[in-house]
Structure 1
Amino acid sequence: MAAKAGSFVEKLVPLLNRGANLAKAQQPRLERFWAVAKVELAPPGPGDIPKITTGIKQAVSINRIANLSVKEVMLNAAVCFEIFLCYEIGRIVGKRSLVGFDIEGASHFPPIKKS
């Protein structure tokens, strides 16, 4: 048993060294990722609310919509369709069925007795 453990350790040491080297090589990338993620994934603060409202007003303005090209309209429609498909796939996965919800007690009713 001790011989097996010794051979296992001998095989494990190079793998651990490779993992340590890989982690050391990826450290600058991870530091950059965390620095960007802290800024980009932070929730909006109170100072951001006016920017958000003006952005929504600009996105919904009639003048902007009237000046869109056909290519931009088709691109926006494709994005909306993609969001709809993701929603539907999530709904199907969530209910674990393609058709209807399985509500316990709602599918098998006892027969009604006539008096």
Structure 2
Amino acid sequence: MSQLVAKAQALANKIVVAARPQLEEFWKYAKVELSPPLPADFQKLKKTAETAKNVSKKDMKGQLKKSGLSQTTVKEAWLNILVTVEVITWFYMGEVIGRRHFVGYKV
């Protein structure tokens, strides 16, 4: 019985030694990534959002002038509609397959 306990302790020690580097790396990233945001982070976020808004406005104006909705042909619009309908159909078919029933979940 003492041999079994000794083997179990040796195995536990090996597991601890093997897991230590992964746990240290996990804790290093967890301290940074899982911490709550600071007030300074909100200021950076606000500035980034304003910059993105301004850039997207410029891009949208340029896109509408270059090749936006006014330049879309009927053939391209029809193709876009068909692709959208196909994607929606596959989504709903996946839902039906997942439920294994057409109308709702069997309860």
Superposition TM-score, scaled by structure 1 size: 0.41
Superposition TM-score, scaled by structure 2 size: 0.43
